[in-house]
Amino acid sequence: MQLSRDELKRAYQRMFTIRAFEERVEKEFAAGNIPGFAHVYLGQEASGVGVCHDLTDEDLIGSTHRGHGHCIAKGCDVKGMMLEIMGKAGGLCGGKGGSMHIADLSKGMLGANAIVGGAPPIAVGAALTQKYKKTGRVSVAFSGDGASNQGTVFEAMNMAVVLKVPAIFVFENNGYGEHTAASYSVGGGSIADRARSFGMPAEVADGVDFFAVHEAMGRALEHCRAGNGPYALEIRCYRFLGHFVGDPQAYRTADELKEARANDPLPLFRKKVTEAKLLEASELDAIEKAILTEVEDAAQTAIAAPPPDLKSLEKDVYARY
């Protein structure tokens, strides 16, 4: 499917926002401005953006501990995210969620999820709502290769097939679950085959190539929106950094890290759209410049922002208690 110039710009804008945001997170984490853990999405930008490109705010996604990219791909506010990640007032979750629990229900983002395999059952429920209310919307469960080994994910896939709900299981196979290679931990080797064995169509997509992901997702959406039940994508991508920011990665060779960096989705996108004369390099440069300013502003604002009011500690545990 040919995308319009505006759509291509939006895709690059989101991919570059993730890149700039995550590089800033890396920097601010090192500077001590981000409490706790940070798992960044660097190298996987084409996956999240390709999957979310045709989704609306009414379509839903459930994410993972590595969720910043999914948030941005789904349209979450970058400043609200930075405030949240730094644990500040005004963050998307009021500073109570943090990096691993960012959510923005108004954007159909049902939360990053720090439990590996936590989101797919929830995404099936969100898909059940769409089927029940006949909204025509879909629910996407992002998981990694690591989560593909969790029983909850098997249960979610089976339930989605049995209930025939519009759920799309997106397995971002970046080759590692924490510090253990998928080649070791994924018995049988193919996550797509697992999904197929539950009775849904599944395909493997090249996660370095935005267009490959977007096209595969288009087939998934068509299938789900036609009421045919769930669909699965195994998206092969590269994790530029370690499991978390600061992971020394002694378990990966220098050559492997170099190879990962060589499979960078952003230059590939630039090359494809400029060679096809769909966008000018100068237009992409202008997008980058604007985003760098936006991320700089988000970071500065978040650093300067006050922490949450202590009175918020006991608020919002219940709707009523």
Partner 1 sequence: MAKKSYRTAINDALRSEMRRNPDIIILGEDVAGGQGATGDVGVVGSVFGVLGGLYKEFGPTRVIDTPISESAIVGAAAGAALTGLRPVAEIMFVDFVGVCFDQIYNQAAKFRYMFGGKAKTPMIIRATIGAGFRAGAQHSQSMHPLFTMVPGLKVVMPSNAYDAKGLMIEALRGDDPVIYLEAKTLYDTEVEVPDEAYRIPFGEGRVAREGKDITLVAFGPMVPRALAVAETLAKDGINAEVVDPRTTSPLDEDTILESVEKTGRLVLVDESPPRCSLAADVAAIVADRGFKSLKAPIKSVTCPHTPVPFAPVLEDEYMPNPRRIEAAVRAVMKFD
Stretch that binds partner 1, among 1-9, 127-135, 178-186, 247-255 (CB under 8 A): 127-135
Task: Figure out which of the listed residues 155, 178, 215, 283 binds partner 1, where binding follows CB under 8 A.
Answer: 155
Quick one: which of 43, 125, 166, 229 contacts partner 1 (CB under 8 A)?
125
From 15, 123, 170, 260, residue interacting with partner 1 (rule: CB under 8 A): 123
Count of residues that bind partner 1 according to CB under 8 A: 48
Report if residue 81 touches partner 1, rule: CB under 8 A: no
Neighbours of 142 (CB within 10 A): 29
For the chain, where are the alpha helices, taking DSSP H only?
Answer: 5-30, 45-52, 68-73, 78-85, 119-133, 151-163, 182-185, 191-197, 210-225, 254-262, 265-275, 281-304
CB of 42 to partner 1, least distance (A): 25
143: DSSP letter? E
Q: How far is CA 298 from CA 25, 63, 99, in A?
A: 11, 22, 15
The 282-321 site mask, x for binding partner 1 (CB under 8 A), equals ---------------------------------xxxxxxx
Could you say which residues in the range 48-67 bind partner 1, by CB under 8 A?
60, 62
In the set 87, 120, 242, 265, which binds partner 1 (CB under 8 A)?
120
103 near partner 1 (CB under 8 A): yes
Q: Smallest gap, in angstroms, from Cβ of residue 21 to partner 1? A: 20
The contact mask relative to partner 1 for 209-228 (x = CB under 8 A, - = no) is: --------------------
x/- binding map, residues 130-149, to partner 1, per CB under 8 A?
x-xx-----x----------
Give yes or no for a contact between 3 and 197, defined as CB atoms under 8 angstroms apart.
Answer: no
CB 64 within 8 A of CB 143: yes
CA–CA separation, 263 and 111 (whole Å): 28
Q: Which residues contact 120 (CB under 8 A, 6 or more apart)?
A: 62, 141, 143, 147, 152, 153, 156, 157, 169
Among 38, 49, 71, 127, binds partner 1 (CB under 8 A): 127
> At its nearest, how many Å lie between partner 1 and the CB of residue 181?
25
- Minimum Å gap between C-beta 160 and partner 1 is 8
d(CA 244, CA 66): 9
**How many C-beta neighbours within 10 Å does residue 273 have?**
23
Cα gap 24→37, rounded to integer Å: 14
Backbone angles phi, psi at 263, to 5 degrees: -95, 65
In the β-sheet with 139-144, what is the strand arrangement from edge to edge? 60-62, 139-144, 167-173, 231-236, 202-206
Q: Which is nearer to partner 1, 74 or 270 (CB)?
A: 74
Q: Residue 240 corresponds to which amino acid? A: F
| Residue 122 interacts with partner 1 (CB under 8 A): yes or no | yes
Judged by CB under 8 A, which stretch of 6-14, 25-33, 89-97, 175-183 contacts partner 1?
A: 89-97
Stretch that binds partner 1, among 11-19, 25-33, 120-128, 213-221 (CB under 8 A): 120-128
Residues at the interface with partner 1 (CB under 8 A): 60, 62, 91-97, 101, 103-106, 110-111, 113, 115, 118, 120-130, 132-133, 139, 151-152, 155-156, 158-159, 162-163, 315-321
